[in-house]
């Protein structure tokens, strides 16, 4: 199963309401935060698992204003994400 197959699977279901934000810690370090329901976390875990199983090179991305936007909580998401398996 590829990440695109995972997206097709979740496209049939209700929105998962994933939130992705960039935050800065007290020490100035930057972090990407993934927030969401158990369903959103399951979808993300399936995407990462699928990335580990596909033949490289392979890349995958989602964006609250682009591909995969249906799954984002667009009001609270600042950024999308990009996963690369060179």
* Confidence (pTM): 0.89
* Per-domain boundaries in the chain: 3-85
Query: 66 CB contacts (<8 Å, ≥6 apart)?
Result: 80
Torsion angles phi and psi, residue 41, rounded to 5? -65, -35
Q: pLDDT tens across 31-66, in order?
A: 999 999 999 999 999 999 999 999 999 999 999 999
> Read out DSSP for 7-39?
HHHHHTS----BEEEEEE-TTS-EEEEEE--HH
pLDDT for res 84: 97
* Type and span of the H or E element at 45: helix 38-53
């Amino acid at each position: 199963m590829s990440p695109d197959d995972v997206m097709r699977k979740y496209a049939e279901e209700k929105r998962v309401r994933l939130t992705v934000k960039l935050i800065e810690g007290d020490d100035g370090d930057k972090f990407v935060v993934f927030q969401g329901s158990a369903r959103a976390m399951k979808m993300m875990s399936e995407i990462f698992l699928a990335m580990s199983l596909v033949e490289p090179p392979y890349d995958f991305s989602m964006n609250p204003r682009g591909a995969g936007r249906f799954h984002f909580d667009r009001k609270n998401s600042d950024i999308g994400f990009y996963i690369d398996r060179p």
